[in-house]
Amino acid sequence: MNFLHGCLLEPLALLLLATASVAHAQSCVAPIPFQYEFSNAATTSLSAATPSDPCALSVAMDANARSTGAGFLHYQGAPLTSARYSFQLDTSALTSFTSPVQRVQIFSVNGQQTQPQQSHLLIVMLMGGSPNPTLRILAGTGTGTYLQAFTPVSLTQTSNVLRFEITIGSGTQATVSYWINHDFTATPDGFVMGLENDVYGGIVGAELGLSSPSISFVTAQNGRAVVFDQIQSSDDALFYDDFSGGAQ
Amino acid sequence: MNHFLFVSVAFAVGTSSPAFAQSCANPIEITFAGLLSGNTCNSTNQLPYLANGAITSLDNQDIYHLRVGDGTGIQLTLRPAAGLDGTLFACRNTCSASASCVAAADNGGAGAQETVELPPGPGDYYIVVGSVVSDSTVSDCGTYELYVAAPLDSAH
């Protein structure tokens, strides 16, 4: 008998297998809705000041990290037509992080469908800048080249609260907005409108952490951690009634 | 028992991949432990992002499909040709840019072997063979061998 086909896969078994990979070792509460951790060629940890606090994610690339070097949290859920995410990004441990050739992906949101090759509704890259880092933000458009870049965002400090809102829509109804150190109730610091992102089939997941580092980033910043704290999302209907702010 | 049965023993012939481009829609099925060979120059970039969209992968890719009753002890080893800087991913359930990957390997340079292990338990995996694109001193595509090794006691 073929060893690879020795057992039939049952949905329950798959569910149990997926659940088994949830990071339970930490002494803090995993930030909802993120459930799973991926780490390769990186030093990744979850910790909190007290056991009941949500975890902060700390990721530092190893010196030997290459294209698959990564440390991030992720989840997948039922499709949503809108979602908000916020987190505090602390890059204060990085040194000489002034060149844009030092870059690393820090956040992305995925749709249900691949159109045609990528499923991103949002990608956020961190790049070196002076005096502080720069963000490169791209939104999934559903048409044309499928990714539209915002004007690069120069951060004003090394610790910032980033907020993102994605709405799904047909025709030109969809928007992607961001806020830097401002609440969701404020006017967005940037947004793109007229997106046709319903072709992605709704928001089904996100990943937060470091991934896809440039060689320059690994060479200059290996061993130096980027910290993601105060992680929140509106994709948590089972746990919260509303989501309008978040700690600065 | 956890002995490994390498491919070269299990399959002497018939394990080379066909010349057509493998894709998500038409992956090569891995049904036995053994040796496969391929050439990513016959393929295209099909998944520019992998691992929940976290890892950018703009290279030519060959796609394999593997279903296991228990992944314990199953290893996949990529041996790229000299000059090819190979990458290897094992991603669960769906062949998609947003699929979750259980393992990703790019630990060596051009010609270096890359290995991933499957986790215990049943699983449905897409195995993506690619390469690093960004260094003009290495090839963007090329030939490779993919070894699938499994514990002897998995055969029943």
* pLDDT tens column, B90-132: 999 889 888 899 999 998 889 999 999 999 999 999 999 999 8
Write phi, then psi, for B107 (nearest 5 degrees): -100, -10
Q: What confidence category does residue B137 fall into, taking pLDDT thresholds of 50, 70 and 90?
A: low
What Cα–Cα distance (Å) separates residue B138 from each residue in A113, B82, B100, B104, B110?
Answer: 33, 9, 28, 20, 7
CA distance B43 to A48: 46
Q: What is the pLDDT of residues B25-74, one digit of tens each?
A: 899 999 888 999 999 999 988 898 999 999 998 889 999 999 999 999 99
Contact A1 B46 (CB under 8 A): no
Give the count of beta carbons closer than 10 Å to the beta carbon of residue A93.
Answer: 15
Q: How far separated are the first and last CA of chain B, in Å rounded? A: 13
Identity at A19, one-letter amino acid code: T
Position A14 scores a pLDDT of 33
Contact B104 A68 (CB under 8 A): yes
Contact A205 B52 (CB under 8 A): yes
CB neighbour class for A151 (10 Å; exposed up to 12, middle 13-18, buried from 19): exposed
CATH number for the domain running over B4-154? 2.60.120.380
Tell me the torsion sign for CA atoms B13, B15, B19, B20.
Answer: positive
Structural domains in chain A, CATH included, are 36-61+70-233 (2.60.120.200)
Position B134 scores a pLDDT of 63
Please count the residue pairs, one from chain A and one from chain B, whose beta carbons lie less than 8 angstroms apart: 140
Position A87 scores a pLDDT of 96
The residue of chain B with its CA nearest to that of A63 is B107
Residue spans of the domains in chain B: they are: 4-154
Q: What confidence category does residue B138 fall into, taking pLDDT thresholds of 50, 70 and 90?
A: low
Is this prediction's ipTM beyond 0.90?
A: no
Position A9 scores a pLDDT of 32
pLDDT along chain A (248 residues), means of 10: 39 33 56 91 91 88 95 94 95 96 96 78 95 93 79 93 94 90 95 84 94 96 97 65 34
Instruction: For an interface test with A, give the residue of B30, B47, B52 to mutate (most A CBs within 10 A).
Output: B52
Contact A5 B67 (CB under 8 A): yes
Write phi, then psi, for A16 (nearest 5 degrees): -65, -40
Q: What confidence category does residue B16 fall into, taking pLDDT thresholds of 50, 70 and 90?
A: low
Tell me which of A58 and B21 has the higher pLDDT: A58
- In 3D space, the residue among A25, A9, A136 whose CA is nearest the CA of residue B123 turns out to be A9
Position A22 scores a pLDDT of 39
